Amino acid sequence: MGRWERALDAAGVHDPGLRADYGRQREQVSRYKREVTLAAGLLLPDRTVPHVIAAAAFMHRTDTLLDSGPPAQRRAASAEWQRKVAEGLAAGRTDDPGLRPLLNSAHAHPVLRDRVLDFLAATDADLDFTGFATEDDYQAYVDAYSLPGFMVVAALLGPDGDQTAYRAACRTYIDAAQRLDFVNDLAEDLADGRLTIPEHTLREHGVTRADLEQARDLPAVRALLGALLDRVDRTLAESLPVIDLVPAAHRPMVRCLVGVDGLTGIAARADPGALLRRSASPAKAGALRLLAREYLRARRLRG
C-alpha cells in the first residue's frame, strides 16, 4: 500500500468515490504547487495530509474564480461560489465532486468549516482592491483578506480547542509572508495593473509608480525594496513563536513554511533590481537542506 493510500485510511476516508475525489485534488495541487504536496506528504502525519490537500485545493479554486475575467464576471462568480459552498457546508453534502473532499474534511475537523466561511466572506476585499494609500491600509488588507485565507489551511495545523493565541501568531506570520509576496511578485502584479506597495511608502523613498512599471533600477528603488525586505525579516523573526503553538507533529511543516519564506527573502535581497522584472526563488540547495532537516525531525516524531 502506498503512502497516499495509507494517508486516506488514516484520515478515515474509506468510500471509493470519495477517495477518488481526494486523489484528483492531490493531482491538481501537485500541478500548481508541487512543493506543497511534497512537503505535506513528507512532513505531516498521514491523518492530516488529505485534509490539507482538500483545503489547498479549495483555496486554489477560489483564487482562480477571483482572478478570472472582468470585474463584474468575477464578482458574480464569487457570489455564486460563496452560495454553493455555504449550502454544501450547511447540508453536509454536494453534487460537486470538487467540493466533496472539503465537506468531508470539515466534518472531520469542524474548525475548518468556520475558517472557510470566514474566507469566503472576506473575498470582496480582494475583488475591491485598488491599491494602498498608507501602511494602515495594507494592514487592514492583511486582517480582512490575507489572514482569513491563510487560516483555511493553518487551522488544520493548529492546536485543538481554542486557537486565539495561535491565530494571533499566524497574523504576525502572514503579515511577513504577504509583504514578501507583494515585493517578490511586484513585476507580475504591476503587469496586471496592481500596485501593492503603499503610496505613502513610495513617497517616503522618492519613488514613483512609473519607476516601478518601467523597471528603473535606481538607487532609490533599491533602497525602497531593501527597506521592505528588512521589514519582512523583522516580522518573520517576530512570528517564530507560532511554531511552538502547533502540535509537535505539525512543527516540521510550520518550520518549513517559515524557512522557505526566509530563503525567498535571501534570494530577493541578492538582486533587488531583478524584482522589477521577475520573482526570486529560493536556492534549490538551501530548500532541499531545509526539507531534509525537517523530514528527519518528522520521522523521529513518528518514531
- Grid coordinates given for 97: 465532486
Residue 259 has pLDDT above 70, yes or no: yes
Q: Which amino acid is at 150?
A: F
DSSP helix/strand/coil, 107: helix
Residue with cell 485565507: 149
pLDDT in tens, 82-101: 999 999 999 999 999 999 99
The DSSP secondary structure of 94-140, one letter per residue, reads -S-TTTHHHHHHHHHSHHHHHHHHHHHHHHHHHHT----SSHHHHHH
pLDDT of residue 66: 81
- Grid coordinates given for 153: 489551511
Closest residue by Cα to residue 264 from 142, 179, 158: 179
Looking at the chain, the number of H-run helices and the number of E-run strands are 16, 0
The average pLDDT across 51-62 equals 95
Residue with cell 497574523: 171
Please, what are the domains in the chain?
A: 1-109 (1.10.600.10), 129-303 (1.10.600.10)
Share of the chain above pLDDT 70, in %: 100
Question: 133 and 202 in contact (C-beta within 8 Å)?
Answer: no
pLDDT of residue 1: 62
pLDDT of residue 64: 87
Question: 293 and 279 in contact (C-beta within 8 Å)?
Answer: no
**pTM value surpassing 0.75:** yes
Report the 10 Å Cβ neighbour count for 109. Answer: 18
The average pLDDT across 19-36 equals 93
Task: Report the distance separating Cα 92 and Cα 104, nearest Å.
Answer: 8
Residue with cell 522589477: 276
- Grid coordinates given for 143: 486582517
Give the contacts of 153 (CB within 8 A, at least 6 positions apart).
52, 55, 56, 59
Closest residue by Cα to residue 48 from 294, 250, 243: 250
pLDDT in tens, 264-301: 999 999 999 999 999 999 999 999 999 999 999 999 99
Closest residue by Cα to residue 226 from 266, 265, 272: 272
Question: 74 and 46 in contact (C-beta within 8 Å)?
Answer: no
Closest residue by Cα to residue 280 from 288, 269, 291: 269
Higher pLDDT, 197 or 76: 197
The average pLDDT across 58-79 equals 86
* Least confident among 42-46, 73-77, 184-188: 73-77
DSSP helix/strand/coil, 253: helix
Task: Report the distance separating Cα 36 and Cα 53, nearest Å.
Answer: 9
Vertex 70: Cα angle to 69 and 74 (nearest 5): 70
Closest residue by Cα to residue 7 from 50, 53, 43: 50
